[in-house]
Amino acid sequence: GIQVEQSPPDLILQEGANSTLRCNFSDSVNNLQWFHQNPWGQLINLFYIPSGTKQNGRLSATTVATERYSLLYISSSQTTDSGVYFCAVNLVSNFGNEKLTFGTGTRLTIIP
Amino acid sequence: ETGVTQTPRHLVMGMTNKKSLKCEQHLGHNAMYWYKQSAKKPLELMFVYNFKEQTENNSVPSRFSPECPNSSHLFLHLHTLQPEDSALYLCASSHNPGLAGVEQYFGPGTRLTVT
């Protein structure tokens, strides 16, 4: 099956720093989503980004589908950015349905 | 608020109990999903329902029994669970899945502990 790898697994930064999170995937995919999981478990949609670049405030993402990777950029980090960031890809299953395959996540800790 | 709600948020049950998890989406979507997140393992898909029909069962043990009475509601019936089934159970919904792919939205999850 498809493999989704995220790096780094853990990242500790000072407040105000910038960071880049990477997601590599092993096969062609239709689409890709980035999520932030807060300490209570809620998955918050950050980007739906099958290709190209998108920006939302201090966050931006770029997916290069032909090279099978995506990057999430966080600028001017705040303590509220702490949590686990997941990349997930859509792969059409044999039944023609969507199934998200998740990476193992990057745990980001922002220190005041 | 993502438009997907789950109840209960926390559940503790014994191995001989029967309980149900409930998910409701208010986004007008047609597809609903159950995912499981265990400690130290990636989130994994359990079931997919599209227009109330189950279209994917990811080799889930029969002690987990899903039910989708309509496109807005999804249940996960639990019986004779094992301690290793303790996990965060997440529900998601999306528009009608197709070849082009769709964005999924997640509920807050039910944290289940089996004693």
pLDDT digits (tens, 9 = 90+) for A88-99: 998 755 445 677
Element (H, E) at A37: strand A31-37
Pick the residue with more confidence: B62 or B102? Answer: B62
Can you spell out the DSSP letters for chain B? --SEEEE-SEEEE-TT-EEEEEEEE-S--SEEEEEEE-TTS--EEEEEEETTEEEEE-S--TTEEEEEEETTEEEEEEES--GGG-EEEEEEEESPP-TT----EE---EEEEE-
Q: What is the pLDDT of residue B100?
A: 60
pLDDT in tens, A43-90: 999 999 989 999 999 999 999 989 999 999 999 999 999 999 999 998
What is the arithmetic mean of pLDDT over A3-8? 95
pLDDT of residue B98: 62
- E strand or H helix at A60, and its extent? strand A59-64
**Coil, strand or helix: which one is A39?**
coil
Q: What is the pLDDT of residue B41?
A: 84
Q: What pLDDT is attached to residue B15?
A: 92
Residue B56 has pLDDT above 90, yes or no: no
For residue A43, CA distances in Å to A35, A37, A46, B13, B49 come to 6, 4, 9, 24, 20
Selecting from A90, A97, A102 the residue whose C-beta is nearest the C-beta of B50 gives: A97
- Across the interface, of A45, A97, A104, the residue whose CB is closest to B42 is A104
Chain CA centroid to CA A71, Å: 7
pLDDT for B63 beyond 50: yes
Q: Check CB contact of A40 with chain B, cutoff 8 Å.
A: yes
A69, two tokens: 């990777």
> What mean pLDDT value characterizes chain B?
91
Longest dimension (CA), chain A: 48
B83's CB contacts (< 8 A; 6+ apart) are B15, B114, B115
pLDDT band at residue B42 using 50, 70 and 90 as cut-offs: confident
pLDDT of B55: 81
What is the model's pLDDT at position B74? 97
Which one-letter DSSP state was computed for residue A96? S
Q: Is the pLDDT of residue B1 over 50?
A: yes
C-alpha distance from A9 to closest chain B C-alpha (Å) = 12
Chain-centre distance for alpha carbon A82: 14
For residue B109, which residues of chain A lie inside 8 Å, CB to CB? Answer: 41-43
Residue A99 backbone phi and psi in degrees, to 5 = -140, 120
In contact, B112 and B9? CB cutoff 8 Å: no
Nearest residue of A to residue B94, measured between CA atoms: A98
Per-residue pLDDT at A94:
41
Q: What is the pLDDT of residue A72?
A: 98
Question: Tens digits of per-residue pLDDT, A16-27?
Answer: 999 999 999 988
- Quickly tell me which residue has 């807005």 as its tokens: B72
Per-residue confidence band for B101, with pLDDT thresholds at 50, 70 and 90: low
Tokens of B2: 């993502």
Taking the C-alpha atoms of residue A45 and residue A31, their distance in angstroms, rounded to an integer, is: 14
Which residues of chain B make contact with A97, given a CB cutoff of 8 A? 31, 48, 50, 55-56, 97
